[in-house]
Amino acid sequence: MNSIDLNCDLGESYGKMTSQYDEIIMPYLSSCNIACGFHSGDPVTIERTIQMAIDHNVAIGAHPSFPDLQGFGRRVMHIPPTELTAIIRYQIAALKGMTNALGGTLHHVKPHGALYNFAAKNEAAAQAIIDAIKSIDQQLIVYGLPGSFLEKQAKKANQFFAKEAFADRRYERDGSLRARTHEGAVIEQENEVLAQVKMMVTEKQIKTHNGEIIPLQADTICLHSDTQGAAKLARQIHEMLTSNAIKIHPIKRS
């Protein structure tokens, strides 16, 4: 592989609690996922983040979640599929409308937090998300875990799917992310993050929490903006990839 998409979840602040890192991280990305207001983000924050992405030529994605502002979208909510579709549709439509109004184009959709992980293992939730995306724009790319129900439902609906891996998260032996409630779920050492990204991109493998090596295909790699030292890590990952002749650019539909 001589190219990869580098993405980050941004716009995850609310009201006066603004992030100081989004502006620093954005120049090193090729795509970003913008909170839609249901786990974080308000209209001003959303608009500012969209404009920042346009200014840096970074592909814009909607980052919808369960309606869980208090829990930052990290709590599973058992919602009927038709209601969940409406919730997701509402968020994507808001991001798309604001992006279009500012002269940009919505590129992809990546579910957030608990919704992301729940839809990986729950077929009905995955279908609800795909139904919402497809009803808005069939050209939107879906970001998600390889081998997940979200990937299977996207392919059934002929919705382009991008396999996502994580720079700063540990994996279980089945290829799933280690739950944040478990020790060691987040990688905190810079050198370990860089080593993991390099292994993902150049060897198409990952070392699990147990130390096993398993195959992992990735079209895009995510760095979380709330990971300790994320602003510095974004620059280091960018430099490591480019110094190894790996191009960083947004995913294109094939």
Give the model's pLDDT for residue 17: 62
Structure tokens at 67: 């309606």
Q: Which residues contact 234 (CB under 8 A, 6 or more apart)?
A: 6, 8, 24, 25, 28, 29, 223
For the segment 5-17, what is each residue's pLDDT rounded down to a tens digit?
Answer: 999 999 988 876 6
Query: What's the chain's average pLDDT?
Result: 93
Which band of pLDDT confidence, cut at 50, 70 and 90, is reported for residue 225?
A: confident
Q: How confident is the model over 128-170, as pLDDT tens digits? A: 999 999 999 999 999 999 999 999 999 999 999 999 999 999 9
For the residues of 101-147, what is the DSSP string, one character each? HTT--EEEE---HHHHHHHHH-HHHHHHHHHHHHHH-TTPEEEE-TT
Which of the residue ranges 59-63, 168-172, 187-191 has the most confident prediction, judged by mean pLDDT?
Answer: 59-63
pLDDT at 177 > cutoff 90: no
Give the residue-averaged pLDDT of 30-59.
97
Q: What is the pTM of this model?
A: 0.94
pLDDT at 18: 65
Q: Which residue has the higher pLDDT, 18 or 55?
A: 55
Question: What is the C-alpha to C-alpha distance for residues 3 and 150, in angstroms, rounded to an integer?
Answer: 24
> Above pLDDT 90, what percent of the chain?
81
Of the candidate ranges 137-146, 169-178, 196-205, 225-234, the one whose mean pLDDT is the lowest: 225-234
Answer yes or no: are the C-beta atoms of 31 and 77 closer than 8 Å.
no
Residue 203 CA: distances (Å) to CA of 172, 197, 200, 218, 253: 18, 10, 6, 11, 23
Q: What is the pLDDT of residue 16?
A: 62
| pLDDT value of residue 55 | 98
Structural domains in the chain, sorted by start: 3-248 (3.20.20.370)
How many CB atoms neighbour CB 175 within 10 A? 18
Element (H, E) at 5: strand 3-10
pLDDT at 14: 81
pLDDT-based confidence at 3, cuts 50/70/90? Answer: very high
